[in-house]
Chains A and B, each alone.
Chain A
């Protein structure tokens, strides 16, 4: 099992550009999450999903969109990149209300 796989690992965007961060898990987990982590801070929840076709906002959803068409995949879309979105993004999954398994992170810089 690969666990939670995130791509790309690094990306530099210009202000106003769009991109999608990919996340896939092979553990057949129903729950998936996107967090962002700014320097010196803990992780903040952007969006989460409790199953295919169901998504909901977390603490900091503005500027992002998600979709969950399959159990395995949970992409995060940035439509108009802003410098405030420079961060490290972590995708995670869980079987139910328990331990989250995290990917290695995607480091995004918006210039």
Chain B
């Protein structure tokens, strides 16, 4: 059963619309950021990453924007599909050995 994300902020979007999920990170020294997608009952799956020397990176239907001035990260999903419904986490690398610090997550609900 569902054990993750019972009280998470939720973003509802219609199928076909674009989604924007936001994340504020905490450490100005972080140099690497990742977005993960977590479906119910599964482990997090990598979506896209970005290093601190970039401010934008694009993948297939996804774009990550990094604003280091205000310590803000966003994930844009184009033409959102029902299969995009999940909890999305941002994570920052705060040191060596990929010791990622995760945000609390945002639930994306795609309505038909």
**Residues in chain A within 8 A of chain B (CB atoms):** 4, 31, 33, 35, 37, 39-45, 48, 50, 56, 58-59, 88, 90, 92, 94, 96-105, 107
Contacts and interface: CB of A to CB of B under 8 A. Distances in A.
A40 B6 contact: yes
A106 to B, nearest CB: 10
Given A39-B4, A39-B5, A105 B97 contact: no
Contacts of A96: 98
Dominant secondary structure of chain A at its interface with chain B: strand
B99 A48 contact: yes
Contact of A97 (B8, B43, B97): B97
Contacts of B81: none
For chain B, give the interface size range: 20 to 34
A104 B5 contact: no
Contact of B102 (A4, A42, A50, A101): A42
B68 to A, nearest CB: 18
A107 B40 CA distance: 13
